[in-house]
Structure 1
């Protein structure tokens, strides 16, 4: 797959059933990685569903039965040639996190497999996250010369600064799904996708029949203290946007792509 094809691949779709359960599905042929256009559509979709009265609760998932999300698109990262483009790309992750934060509907995450970088950010930005025992996590950004600057606040909010620091520092090592559950990233773990989906369905139906105003107020309480994230994540995106232009990062990304 060429760089251009990889950047242009991937999509986001949603549906709302008659119970008010909205399901958002993102996909990309390269382990559900996230190019800028997919990030934009994901943020826009979450925002749109937050404004739809017929959507009572949101389930966020990716396609396939292996990787949940491979994080940032390496093909798009290597194509960035100036600071403005770099900042715009990383703002894609910021916009998704902020869309989840501001959405008045509770969001249930469904993580079926390994997740890296921005994918860990997505799992952290939902309000309640289910996963399978195969859902190891890694923040690999430092290994390619940048850092988890944009997703860091969301991850630290969910697992604490200590656990986030472990992930960010030991950037080449996977942490197990059990570790992620122990730290609070995942609420529950399951042996199979089928068992996980059954529990997601139970919780989604309970929430769809709950008081929308109570859930909106509750979500506001969950996210107290994050009111500055519009500015904070913009500043963090600029950090990553500058670092991605460095020779170190360019060489590191090219080396990863050859593996």
Structure 2
């Protein structure tokens, strides 16, 4: 009797983890129904076999019937398969299954998707390497500029020493000029010419002292700008190092994902 095949329906249903719908039917109606979780057909035990169903067609032809049903019917494309059941060469009913085509679609597209993922990750990895190289170059450039700014600051300090020497010479020259003026005045008419020279020496000393003072201000300004530039370069260097560290971390993640993509591609090739 056809009812003896109910256990077969349950086995098929459980084998696919309850996703595929399985139907057992006699020559007129469905007698055992296990509705899967993916395809939910409006069928129940006792329903008459629809005139357009694979179930009725397999009874009429005595052959396996397989039919692809588009998503317009239930919102999900599925494949219906029906087999006739014979006893002593006589058809007594049949068994039918309906399964979603999404798995087949996924299996067909999985290799190409895995390949695309792997190629995309390779491109991202290459871009990450370029960013890392640029960040390192920027860090190296910042470090070089920092060293140069330190050299400029050292030169400024050396200039400060020169200015200090000029200021000292100007001060001494001013004193000498003053003493020469005093001695010229004591010499009377004989020392008038020398008095003019002494006056010029004093004027030159005052001018040199003023110039030294201006140069010192300029040097101070240079040192101030160099100091600010050094601080900014140190900040840039710190940020660049953080960027480099972040890029390395991203690169490691990309490498891990690439490995997963390759494993996925290998798995897809076996399906």
Aligning the two structures, in what range does the TM-score lie when normalised by the shorter sequence?
under 0.3
Rg larger in 1 or in 2?
A: 2
Normalising by structure 1, report the TM-score.
Answer: 0.19
Q: Which has the higher helix share?
A: 2
Q: Which has the higher contact order (CA 8 A, sep 6+)?
A: 1
Normalising by structure 2, report the TM-score.
Answer: 0.19
